[in-house]
């Protein structure tokens, strides 16, 4: 994908048949983190709240959700149905997004960022 200025443009330049999924993920993140700032970083939507919160990106077969450690590891059992790495969760394009799970992961990262902010 070419360089984009904002999340609206990122979604608009995505395949039409997948735009609804990206819009849905965006809304899930924004509802879980209403105080987060929305940006584009590394050519992907990026959310900032007292530090890195979450990124997402569209690939050929999945939407990747990138969330700083240790969130994926801490929720490994709940993520057993998804392909994961230390910071990545891959949601298949042919499956419904797990709204409540995504909200839980984003809120867990918010809590980590709040803790780190208090330590400063």
What is the percentage of the chain residues whose pLDDT exceeds 70? 99
Fold adopted by 7-114: 3.90.1150
Q: pLDDT by residue (tens digit) across 63-116?
A: 999 999 999 999 999 999 999 999 999 999 999 999 999 999 999 999 999 999
The residue extents of the domains of the chain are 7-114
pTM assigned to the model: 0.94
Nearest CA to 89 among 99, 103, 76? Answer: 76
Angle at 7 between CA 60 and CA 44, to 5 degrees: 50
The answer to whether residues 28 and 97 touch, using CB atoms and an 8 Å cutoff, is yes
Angle at 56 between CA 52 and CA 57, to 5 degrees: 140
């Amino acid at each position: 994908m070419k360089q984009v200025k904002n999340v609206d443009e990122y979604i608009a330049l995505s395949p039409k048949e997948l735009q609804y999924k990206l819009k849905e993920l965006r809304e899930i993140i924004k509802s879980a983190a209403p105080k987060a700032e929305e940006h584009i970083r590394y050519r992907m939507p990026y959310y900032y709240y007292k530090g890195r919160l979450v990124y997402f990106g569209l690939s050929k077969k999945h939407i990747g959700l990138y969330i700083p450690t240790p969130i994926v590891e801490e929720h490994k059992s709940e993520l057993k149905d998804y392909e994961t790495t230390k910071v990545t969760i891959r949601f298949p394009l042919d499956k419904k997004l797990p709204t409540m799970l995504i909200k839980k992961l984003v809120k867990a990262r918010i809590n980590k960022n709040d803790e780190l902010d208090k330590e400063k």
